Structure 1
């Protein structure tokens, strides 16, 4: 399968990150922060330098991953100042995607409200009324822009975002009738926070063309104590599920990229060291 890494999880120095990628035979570069800037904030000259470096080193861009729409709330509306700011950033990222050949651009969703639907009285007393319904209109302009620009969007399943599970991601795509241009960036470790089992439930939810990209890391969550621990790959909650997921991806002919998300460190604060201790497991599981 196609393996890559979110480069700034190794280093924001892209040349350094590519050197490390070469050492472990990872081919696909996912860009989030390069230098001190998030994608979408680089100058035309900086984008040309990024593109030249990656093409010269034979590293196709898998995805441009800006935190578009992250931090918005259900109080925001399409066309307000915050939404416009994020749409302007999306346009810049799409322009960068055209230059770098990135096939995917990541978007996020607004801040999570905990209870979106209910029954048996909860629909009256507990639901955050209108929270979910406020979101598709916020995402719809991004979908239309992507269609016009000929790029695909992927919406990430986030820890603290309205889309925090494969169920909510698929529901958003269906409500927008946007499967032609919007797919799921599945981060199964993020989904642990809402207790969606990655295997088989999460995987099965994305069958039928919803899966566009994957982030792989491992975690242990303690939701009652509001505590998240990133773990060495294979040693957290996802450990027993990683091999079945990889086997299913191969059997189903998944043709997208799987990015190792290097956000674990072994106690020394070095995410590069964490990457080096996880990448072997990553390749063993997903690289066949």
Structure 2
């Protein structure tokens, strides 16, 4: 893997940092560490480990995982949480997710993670009516983030109210806090019911608001969208990566594979990714994504000497 390590070194000159979401590889943290070291990545983003969402692990196990990642010379670049994938109109569900958020803020402190990824509640079909209520719930996030010294990053997703960058940007601007920012996932735009183009439209909508980035790719057809390796779909990663370099992006670019070579992830697995069934076959697909990404990150292609 020396060639890939060298590519990783070249990548560093671009200014941004590379990571991977661990359960896209395996439910075993050791597998994720091994892949990260093979490819010269700098960070891991945590979602589910050992068949459990992160907030369901024991305190002792969390400490053990944090120590192992630290000892491997890696950083935890974020926590991919299911926070606010719930019904906005259900008071009990919403309260439970605020409690969950606080637990993730505690975990972010334990892992020294700068970002907690969350959403904008299950789509109810009326964005304009839901918007002020979502903003109020996100405003309640701010004091928790201030207390724990971390940042809540809102991600667009086709199953929630903010399905694209334009809608996420509107929420973040309305909350108007440095502790609630945007996560840019251009691949998710290919599932956007409104059809936002991942680049440049999604990027331009979030420019100045995004502090974190996930990378996946897909092909949108007339009947369905199919995930593919990074750079082989319709995101336009070649132009997007050039733009990130030109704009001096210095955050994380985290691979979120979201497809498998010998099987297909179900709609439910894409909507609620977690656990052993989700991770099955993930290592091979993630390696393919990383190989493809590093081709795009060659210094000569990026114009970096």
TM exceeding 0.5? yes
Task: Find the partner of 2:226 among 207, 211, 229.
Answer: 229
Match status 1:101 vs 2:99: no
Deviations 1:185-221 (A, max 9, x none): 111111122211122111112222x011111111123
Match status 1:204 vs 2:204: yes
Change (3 A) 1:220 1:252: same
For 2:302, the equivalent position in structure 1 comes to none
2:76–2:113 contact (8 Å) kept in structure 1: yes
Which secondary structure state, in structure 2, belongs to the residue aligned with residue 131 of structure 1?
A: helix
1:214–1:257 contact (8 Å) kept in structure 2: yes
Match status 1:57 vs 2:36: no
Structure 2 unaligned spans of 5+: 1-15, 264-279, 300-305
Q: 1:7 offset after TM fit, Å? A: 0.7
Larger deviation, residues 268-277 vs 161-170: 268-277
Task: Provide the C-alpha distance between the structure 2 equivalents of 1:236 and 1:112, rounded to a whole number of angstroms.
Answer: 26
For 2:293, the equivalent position in structure 1 comes to 282
Change (3 A) 1:192 1:177: same
1:3–1:287 contact (8 Å) kept in structure 2: no
Structure 1 unaligned spans of 5+: 118-129
Task: Provide the C-alpha distance between the structure 2 equivalents of 1:277 and 1:207, rounded to a whole number of angstroms.
Answer: 29
Q: Could you say which structure has the higher helix fraction?
A: 2
Task: Provide the C-alpha distance between the structure 1 equivalents of 2:232 and 2:245, rounded to a whole number of angstroms.
Answer: 23
Task: Provide the C-alpha distance between the structure 1 equivalents of 2:32 and 2:69, rounded to a whole number of angstroms.
Answer: 11
2:230–2:237 contact (8 Å) kept in structure 1: no
Which secondary structure state, in structure 1, belongs to the residue aligned with residue 127 of structure 2?
A: coil
Q: How many pairs were matched up? A: 266
Change (3 A) 1:110 1:282: same
| TM-score normalised to structure 1 length | 0.87
For 1:83, the equivalent position in structure 2 comes to 94
Match status 1:262 vs 2:257: yes
The residue correspondences of 1:1-288 to structure 2 (distance < 5 A) are 1-73=16-88, 75-76=89-90, 80-114=91-125, 116-117=127-128, 130-178=129-177, 180-194=178-192, 195-208=195-208, 210-222=209-221, 225=223, 227-238=224-235, 241-268=236-263, 270-286=281-297, 288=299
Larger deviation, residues 56-65 vs 199-208: 199-208
| TM-score normalised to structure 2 length | 0.83
Q: 1:9 offset after TM fit, Å? A: 0.2
Task: Provide the C-alpha distance between the structure 2 equivalents of 1:149 and 1:232, rounded to a whole number of angstroms.
Answer: 36
Task: Provide the C-alpha distance between the structure 1 equivalents of 2:95 and 2:296, rounded to a whole number of angstroms.
Answer: 41
Q: 1:243 offset after TM fit, Å? A: 1.2
Q: 1:70 offset after TM fit, Å? A: 0.3
2:21–2:255 contact (8 Å) kept in structure 1: yes
Which secondary structure state, in structure 2, belongs to the residue aligned with residue 40 of structure 1?
A: helix
With a CA cutoff of 8 Å and minimum separation of 6, indicate the structure with the bigger relative contact order.
Answer: 2
Larger deviation, residues 269-278 vs 57-66: 269-278
Change (3 A) 1:246 1:207: same
Task: Provide the C-alpha distance between the structure 2 equivalents of 1:91 and 1:199, rounded to a whole number of angstroms.
Answer: 34
